[in-house]
Amino acid sequence: MKPVKVGLLGLGTVGTGVVRIVEGNQEHLSSQVGSPIIIERIAVKNSEKARDIDVDASKITTDPWEVIRDPEIDVIVEVMGGINGTKEYILEALDRGKHIITANKDLMALYGSEILAKAQEKQCDVFYEASVAGGIPIIRTLIEGFSSDRITKIMGIVNGTTNYILTKMSQEGATYSDALKEAQDLGYAESDPTSDVEGLDAARKMTILGTLGFRTNVELQDVTVKGISGVSKEDIAFAKRLGYEMKLLGIAECKDEEFNISVQPTMIRSGHPIASVNGVFNAVYVYGEAVGETMFYGAGAGAMPTATSIVADLVAVIKNLKLGVNGLKQIIPYKTKKIKSDENIFYKNFLLLHVDDKAGVLAKITQVFAEYDVSLDSVVQQANPNNPDAEIIIVTHNASKASMDKVLRHFDDLNVIRRVKSHYRVEG
């Protein structure tokens, strides 16, 4: 049988994992697709670099275009990352009729619709399971497993770095900066951790999940984002006291054809399945009208888990190739994009206020909530030995984001409030 030839762009840890799986599981793979799979050419940044695997030097090039333009190659696997260059490589490869597998969340979040449109025009497959939640087959699940259902909510722990940091803070009482430093020492966080800790990485993944879950063309700028750099030990201690864990959650909701998507540190009730997902693990909780609650858990990153998803995509693309049906099972968002207004986004809120320690303050504050029709679940006032101010801890019932914004603006003018120390979304 004629072998299928693959071009690999990038030979970092994930690329190395792809080579390992394709070579190590060759019998298992070829029994599924009916022919051998050969990694024909590999584009690298530095051809002199020492590597963990033996690769025939004649396959290596430092020029990605050589791989893209090789007429022998059927499928391009892109694991270089970044958006500079990769978009052009992929569009050109599609123009040449090659199928694409990518782990590149940045690319898919920013240019997914353009790339998928080109793929449809050229009847090529573009698969990107590895771009969200590493080894967890969540994209397949949203496209195929729940094709029959209307998905109303997706909540994801889709960034392992921040989940590691929050787990350390929760389980060991570490400060944010100590936990971040440890994550950096272990290689879980980069030296510039901004993209992870400020929620941008999670936002890109939620853009992809939202598009697939709601069948509408979600763009990155539709996602409101807040990172974890402002989360304190104290906040986590309050969360625990109230029966919550603090997690950086991507939350995508869709009701009456209108959606909203956000990423922010969220207090989630301890009994919720996603609350006990710890360390660098990822999980995606999906709520469908018919199926109800489901959750998918696993390694969100790492060379081998990510490579598992890439090679599973490769098997799917090659099966399609043999059957002559590439590009025909594409999910094209078909619903008009409608974003919920702040009046229609509802959730519970946790607030920690530092206030003047004198009579009548609580009455003034609760009056503000009443004025904007935000009802309260619990209110606790306490003295803080480390602070001359009193502390008020408030958990609201479901309130619209618009009303809460009005409450917070009103607080700016209320001179008994020294400051709004913390404000978090509460789930579950």
**10 known member of a binding site:** yes
Tell which positions 148-177 bind a copy of itself, by CB under 8 A: 148-150
Nearest to 248 by CA among 189, 309, 191, 288: 189
**Is position 12 an interface residue for a copy of itself (rule: CB under 8 A)?**
no
**242 known member of a binding site:** no
Catalytic residue numbers, as ranges: 205
Return d(Cα 419, Cα 355) in angstroms, integer: 7
Nearest to 38 by CA among 89, 81, 2: 2
Are residues 22 and 89 in contact, defined by beta-carbon separation less than 8 angstroms? no
Tell which positions 268-327 bind a copy of itself, by CB under 8 A: 273, 276, 281, 288-299, 302, 304-305, 307-312, 314-316, 319, 323, 325
**94 known member of a binding site:** no
Residue 302 neighbours by CB distance under 10 Å: 16
**156 known member of a binding site:** no
One of 145, 339, 379, 414 touching a copy of itself (CB under 8 A): 145
One of 53, 117, 328, 370 touching a copy of itself (CB under 8 A): 328
**Is position 140 an interface residue for a copy of itself (rule: CB under 8 A)?**
yes
- Distance from first CA to last CA of the chain, Å, rounded? 54
Residue 23 neighbours by CB distance under 10 Å: 15
Return d(Cα 37, Cα 27) in angstroms, integer: 10
Alpha-carbon Rg for the chain, nearest whole angstrom, is: 24
Site string for a copy of itself, 363-392 (x = CB under 8 A): ------------------------------
CA dihedral 230, 235, 237, 239 (to 10 degrees): -120
Tokens encoding 132: 């969200």
Stretch that binds a copy of itself, among 105-113, 134-142, 179-187, 376-384 (CB under 8 A): 134-142
Which residues neighbour 276 within 8 Å (Cβ) at sequence distance 6 or greater?
Answer: 245, 270
In the bound state with a copy of itself, the residue whose beta carbon lies nearer, of 294 and 381, is 294
**7 known member of a binding site:** no
| Identity of the residue numbered 5 | K
**105 known member of a binding site:** yes
One of 147, 336, 382, 386 touching a copy of itself (CB under 8 A): 147
**Is position 136 an interface residue for a copy of itself (rule: CB under 8 A)?**
yes
Output the smallest distance, CB 59 to a copy of itself, in A.
20
Are residues 285 and 293 in contact, defined by beta-carbon separation less than 8 angstroms? yes
Return d(Cα 110, Cα 91) in angstroms, integer: 14
Per rule CB under 8 A, count of chain residues that contact a copy of itself = 56
Per CB under 8 A, residues contacting a copy of itself are 17, 20-21, 25, 28-29, 31-32, 129, 135-137, 140-141, 144-150, 215, 273, 276, 281, 288-299, 302, 304-305, 307-312, 314-316, 319, 323, 325, 328-329, 331, 334
Binding residues for L-homoserine, as ranges, are 190
